[in-house]
Amino acid sequence: MTTAQGAQQGRAQFGVAGMGVMGQSLALNVADHGFRVAVWDRHPERFDEMRQKGAPDSLKGYAALEEFVAALERPRRIMLMVTAGAAVDSMMERLEPLLQPGDIVLDCGNSWFQDTRKREAEWKQKGLLFLGVGVSGGEEGARYGPSIMPGGPAEAYAQVRPVLEAIAAKSEAGVCVTHVGPDGAGHFVKMVHNGIEYADMQLLAETYDLLRHGLGLSADQLADLFSQWNQGIAESFLLETTIKVLRKKDAETGKPLVDLVLDKAGQKGTGKWTVQVSLDLGVPVPSIAGALDARNLSSMKDERVAASRVLHGPKGESLSADEKANLAAWVHDALYAARVVTYAQGMRLIQAASNEYKWNVSLAEMARIWRAGCIIRAKLLTPLREAFEKKPDLPNLMLADSLAPVLEKMAPSWRRTMAVATRLGIPVPVFSASLAYFDSYRSPELPQNLTQAQRDAFGAHTYQRRDRPEAGFVHSDWS
Ligand code: 6PG
C-alpha cells in the first residue's frame, strides 16, 4: 500500500452537508449501502437525532466544516442538502478554499438550472467539479430510494455513480439514476418533473371535484373507486397518495381530514419556473400553466368567497341517468388522456431545452428513471419510455404508435366529461387546457389566419399567403 492509499484508508467515502429532513434521509440511505459517510451541520444535535434513527457507526457527524472536509477521501464527494438559492452560493464559497482540484460537489436541491450552469462553469475554471442533481421522492424516497437526475461533467458523474446507483430507487427497467447531460440538464429535468407533478395533482383534484359534486360521492366512496383505478392503467404514486388522503379521518371530529383542509394551495416555485421557461423557449405547456393558475386562483380565497355571492353558477342542472351511470368511467379515461398530454408537453419542453443548450438528453432515459422513486412515478411511464426508445426523435408523445390510438379511443369520454363539467359549472382548467392542446395539435387548420390578417390590418405586420408561398411575407390594405 502506498502512503497516499494509507492516508485515504478509513476516511469517509461520501459527505453530506446540511442535515435537514432530506439531508438526514439521504445520508442514512448512503450509509445503509455500506459507504463510510461524513455529515456536516451547524447544529450537532441533529447527529443525535440521526443516531436515534439508526445511523451506523460508519456515519460520523462534524459541526466544523474544515473537519468535515478533511475527513473525506479524495477526490472528495460532497452532497449539498441546503435550500436552493443563496444558501448554495454561500456553502460553495465556504467550501471552495477547503477543496482541491478534482473534488466534486453535488447540489441536490431544486436549484434554478441557469444558476447551476453558471456555478458549474465557474467551478470548472478552478478545477473543481460541480453537479446539479435533481432528487425526487420526498422524505421516504430520500431514505429508501429516490429518483435521481444528475447533470454536470461526465467525469464527475462517473466518480459519484456507484453511490448514486446504490441509493436510487430500482424499477423493472433498472436503477432510477442516469447522467442526464451537462451543466444544468439535471436541474432542468427535475424542474419539468415538478411542472408535470403540478398538472398531475391538479388533474386528480379536478377528478375529485367532478365526482364529489357531480355524483355526490363521499371521501370513502372516492377512495374505493380510486383504489380500483389504481389496479389498472391509471396506477400512480399520486393516485395512491390521493387514496391515502381521502381515507384519513380527523381524530377530533371523525370527519374526513381532507374536508378540513383549507383550499388554498401553496408552491415553492418550480412549477412557475417551468411555465416561465416554456414561454422563453416557445414551447406550449398549457396543462402545467393551468395547474399553476389553479393554485394561484385557489389562494385568492377571500375574493372567491365574496365573488360567489355575486356571480352564480348554473341552476337546476342535474345529470341524466346515462351520465350518472357512466361519469366515473368517462372521468377515468379523461384522466388518463390528459396525463398523456401533460407528459407530452413536459417531454417536449425537455427536448427543446436539450436542443437549445446541447444537452443531448434521452427522453427514454428520463421516462425510465421516473418509473420508480419520484413523485410522478406511474404505470404510464412504461409505454412512454417504450415510445421514446422506439423513436427517440418522436416530435410529440401523443403521436406514439402505442398512445395515439388510446387517445383516440378515450377522446369521446374526455369530451363528455368536459360537457358535464361545463354544464354543472365545475372548473376543470387542466382537463380542458389539455383537451384544447390535443385538439389544436391535431388540427391541420387553426384560426390563426384571422390573427395574422388582424395583425396586418392594424399594424402592417405582414402575412404569408397559402396560395403563393413563394411570395414570402406580404402586406395588404384591409380598408
Ligand atoms: C419531489 C417533489 C419535491 C417538492 C416540490 C414541489 O420531487 O420530491 O417535487 O421537490 O414536492 O418542491 O413543491 P411545491 O408544491 O411546494 O412547489
R_g over Cα of the chain:
25
Whether 197 is in the pocket of ligand 1, judged by its Cβ within 6 Å, is yes
Contact by Cβ (8 Å): 398, 441: yes
Tell whether the model's pLDDT for residue 43 goes beyond 60: yes
Say if residue 238's pLDDT is above 50.
yes
Question: Is the distance from the beta carbon of residue 83 to the nearest atom of ligand 1 less than 6 Å?
Answer: no
The Å distance, Cα 365 to ligand 1 centre, comes to: 21
Residue 4 pLDDT > 70, yes or no? no
At residue 5 the predicted structure's pLDDT band, cuts being 50, 70 and 90, is low
Answer yes or no: is pLDDT of 84 > 50: yes
Q: How far is the CA of 367 from the centre of ligand 1 (A)?
A: 18
Largest Cα–Cα separation, the chain: 90
Give the C-alpha separation, 290 to 197, whole Å: 12
Q: Is the pLDDT of residue 150 over 90?
A: yes
One-letter identity of residue 192: V
For residue 387, pLDDT over 90 is answered with: yes
Cα 179 to middle of ligand 1, angstroms: 21
Is 362's C-beta closer than 6 angstroms to any atom of ligand 1?
no
Across 395-406, average pLDDT: 98
The DSSP symbol for 411 reads H
Q: Is 197 part of the annotated catalytic residue set?
A: yes
Please state, rounded to an integer, the average pLDDT across all residues of the chain. Answer: 97
Residue 11 identity (one-letter amino acid): R
pLDDT tens for residues 423-463? 999 999 999 999 999 999 999 999 999 999 999 999 999 99
Cβ of 136 closer than 6 Å to ligand 1, yes or no, is yes
Contact 116, 354 (CB under 8 A): no
CA atoms within a 13 Å half-sphere pointing along the CA-CB vector of 238: 25
**Per-residue CA distances from 395 to 138, 326, 345, 350, 391 (Å):** 32, 34, 11, 12, 9
One-letter identity of residue 370: W
CA distance 61 to 41: 8
* Distance between Cα 448 and ligand 1 center (Å): 37
Q: Active-site residue among 49, 126, 170, 197?
A: 197
Question: Terminus-to-terminus CA distance in the chain, angstroms?
Answer: 90
Contact 428, 291 (CB under 8 A): no
Mean pLDDT in residue range 161-183: 98
| Ligand 1, atom 1: closest residue by C-alpha | 136
Which atom of ligand 1 is nearest to 190's Cα?
7
Among protein residues, the one with the nearest Cα to ligand 1's atom 7 is 136
Per the annotation, the verdict on 190 as an active-site residue is yes
The response to whether residue 102 sits with its C-beta less than 6 Å from ligand 1 reads no
Cβ-proximal residues to 174 (8 Å cutoff; 6+ apart), any chain:
368
